[in-house]
Amino acid sequence: MAASRLALLLLVLAVAAARHALPAAGSDAHPGYDGAEDTCGVPAAAAAAAGRMEEYGGGRILNITHAYRADLPAYAPGAVTGPVVRLRDSMANGTLYNLSELKMECHMGTQVDAPGHMNQSHYAAGLDVDKLDLDLLNGPTLLVDTPRNTNITAKAMESLNIPKGVRRVLFRTLNTDRKLMWKKGGDLSYVGFTEDGAQWLVDNTDIKLVGIDYLSVAAYDHLITAHVVFFKIPNIILVEGLKLDDVKAGIYMLHCLPLRLVGSEGSPIRCILIK
Ligand SMILES: *[C@@H]1O[C@H](CO)[C@@H](O)[C@H](O)[C@H]1NC(C)=O
Ligand SMILES: *[C@@H]1O[C@H](CO)[C@@H](O)[C@H](O)[C@H]1NC(C)=O
Ligand SMILES: *[C@@H]1O[C@H](CO)[C@@H](O)[C@H](O)[C@H]1NC(C)=O
Ligand SMILES: *[C@@H]1O[C@H](CO)[C@@H](O)[C@H](O)[C@H]1NC(C)=O
Ligand SMILES: *[C@@H]1O[C@H](CO)[C@@H](O)[C@H](O)[C@H]1NC(C)=O
């Protein structure tokens, strides 16, 4: 197990060193859909069928939002989202309609942070998810692969050579290779920005939309500090928990729409890429 992990890591590193535009390792398998109880034991046919659902318009539209399935990981070791939708009235019980209700934390699954999430003055200023800039949330975006042997540090950021002028970047990391969003239960060993990585991005790039492939843009050891660095800029938007499996690195049109949750510092967000 450890040896094969290491071998995979070395392979990934070798490829990443040769070229940063590393396609996500693995196949079109999406373990974790209906009925799949764990990360490893998903039947190939089910995974392939699920995989086909992720493209629309003959492959023109790519679904990069995770479905709110009950075993979607949540932000604590081993935690899952659980069911977020429940039938409140059921025709099976004699009503003339079925009516579901939604109950969830606003930072679950594919989600967006508003600046008030970790900056009290922004929260007090009313910078909620309903005030996020839809212009920034919709437009050309770069999908890049980060070096797999590190969190997103200043050095890692620098190595990506993201040109000035690029405003939206989706960072695909080791999290996608590890299929962490498909793993039943949160895993805090995910990759994210370190404080110095966040600072480097703020100081040296024009990036204002940061997308990442696990539940936080910030690595666990920098959970607050990296967020705080980003949130010093009131117009930065952090999109978390993106589903970047099986998408080629490159340039796309990104379309992301948060819910209009007045007063909330977070929201589920539906994102797609268009080729
Ligand atoms: C992708 O989008 C389709 C259509 O809305 C949906 O049926 C499917 O569940 C989505 N998959 C994920 C993983 O979000
Ligand atoms: C339907 O009725 C059953 C039996 O009374 C109850 O356990 C269940 O919660 C009800 N479901 C809904 C959605 O009303
Ligand atoms: C309504 O919900 C019940 C489950 O309580 C389900 O059996 C039934 O198929 C649903 N009907 C419709 C029309 O959605
Ligand atoms: C990233 O940082 C986390 C702690 O914040 C750590 O558990 C993980 O191993 C690091 N990943 C890499 C690839 O360095
Ligand atoms: C919150 O954001 C403001 C304005 O960008 C900044 O001056 C302040 O330092 C931030 N607060 C914290 C605690 O980072």
| pLDDT tens digits along 63-107 | 999 999 999 999 999 999 999 999 999 999 999 999 999 999 999
Instruction: Name the strand (E) or helix (H) holding 112.
Output: strand 111-113
Q: Is 53 in the pocket of ligand 1 (CB under 6 A)?
A: yes
DSSP state at residue 74: -
| pLDDT tens digits along 158-189 | 999 999 999 999 999 999 999 999 999 999 99
What pLDDT was estimated at residue 55? Answer: 62
Mean per-residue pLDDT, 6-28? 35
Contact 208, 231 (CB under 8 A): no
Question: Which tokens sit at 114?
Answer: 């508003």
Closest ligand to C-alpha of residue 97 is 3
Task: For ligand 5, atom 6, name the residue with the nearest CA.
Answer: 232
Q: Is 151 in the pocket of ligand 4 (CB under 6 A)?
A: yes
Identify residue 239 by its one-letter amino acid code.
Answer: V
**Fold of the domain built from segment(s) 2-20+43-274:** Glucose Oxidase; domain 1 (3.50.30)
Mean per-residue pLDDT, 35-62? 50
* Ligand 2 centroid to residue 108 C-alpha, Å: 27
Strands 237-240 and 250-258 come out as: unpaired
Whether the predicted pLDDT of 32 surpasses 50: no
Boundaries of every domain in the chain = 2-20+43-274
CA distance 165 to 142: 11
CA distance 176 to 214: 8
DSSP per residue over 216-250, as a string?
-SB-GGGHHHHHHHHHTSTT-EEEES---TT--SE
Angle at 191 between CA 45 and CA 24, to 5 degrees: 35
Q: Is 67 in the pocket of ligand 1 (CB under 6 A)?
A: yes
Which residues surround ligand 3 with Cβ inside 6 Å? Answer: 87, 90-92, 98
Residues 6+ apart with CB under 8 A from 93: none
Which residues surround ligand 5 with Cβ inside 6 Å? Answer: 119, 121-122, 228, 231-232, 234
Whether the predicted pLDDT of 59 surpasses 60: yes
| Site of tokens 């059921």 | 90
| Site of tokens 């040896």 | 3
